[in-house]
Chains A and B, each alone.
Chain A
Amino acid sequence: DQQVKQNSPSLRVQEGRISILNCDYTNSMFDYFLWYKKYPAEGPTFLISISSIKDKNEDGRFTVFLNKSAKHLSLHIVPSQPGDSAVYFCAASVLGNTPLVFGKGTRLSVIA
């Protein structure tokens, strides 16, 4: 039973356009959400997070949106750059205080 789902295994976007990566969760106790980026043969790198008391958090080119009623969050990357090509993982925890539950990841390819 997957509590965090990333239903798109891959996404191709042209350089300069917006990348939108989606994540759904089933556990209503989750209240802290994170996005990580992973290159091959490296560990995940923290990108951005959001607490359930907010519906948006922005950091440079990266914005995360949270829709609690739909149990859905998304990561927007604008503008997309070739260096953004990686696997992106959505993760969630309870009270920001428990081990993370990860989705299976979405492979983003940004094409020049």
Chain B
Amino acid sequence: DTGVSQDPRHKITKRGQNVTFRCDPISEHNRLYWYRQTLGQGPEFLTYFQNEAQLEKSRLLSDRFSAERPKGSFSTLEIQRTEQGDSAMYLCASSLRSASSTDTQYFGPGTRLTVL
């Protein structure tokens, strides 16, 4: 049973560079979520997809952030012109949403981003 996977696990970049993270959800899951977690805080919602459709974006998600899920399977999160404030753990979660089930989300190991 493969869970949610994320790549890379760690990324160190210089301010102003672009970075891209990948998330592979649990195979039969139709929903995919991105969260961000900083020290001492709980995860904060960024955006989510149902299949390939992006259904909601948080106001935390500035114009420098973009996410895609082109074929309803894996997803990418890109941050352009990174800033030091972008340093955080980026978490991906997936779930199977159906008419008869509630949305229990299962998380990947996260990508830790450090912007120097």
A residues with a Cβ closer than 8 A to B are 4, 32, 34, 36, 41-46, 49, 51, 89, 91, 93, 96-105
Contacts and interface: CB of A to CB of B under 8 A. Distances in A.
Interface in B77-116: 91, 93, 97, 102-110, 112
Contact of B104 (A34, A98, A99): A34
Interface of B: 4, 6, 33, 35, 40-45, 48, 56, 58, 91, 93, 97, 102-110, 112
Given A99-B58, A100-B43, A102-B42, 10 more contacts: A36-B107, A41-B109, A41-B110, A43-B6, A43-B93, A44-B43, A99-B48, A100-B35, A100-B105, A102-B43
B107 A104 contact: no
B108 A43 contact: yes
20 contacts: A34-B105, A36-B107, A41-B109, A42-B110, A43-B4, A44-B107, A46-B105, A51-B102, A93-B103, A96-B102, A97-B102, A97-B103, A99-B33, A99-B56, A100-B43, A102-B42, A102-B43, A102-B44, A103-B42, A104-B40
A71 B51 CA distance: 33
A101 B41 CA distance: 11
Given A49-B104, A96-B103, A105 B42 contact: yes
A51 B103 CA distance: 11
Contacts of B106: 46
A44 B33 contact: no
A103 B109 CA distance: 19
B48 A45 contact: no
A96 B6 CA distance: 25
Given A43-B4, A44-B91, A104 B103 contact: no
Contacts of A89: 42-43
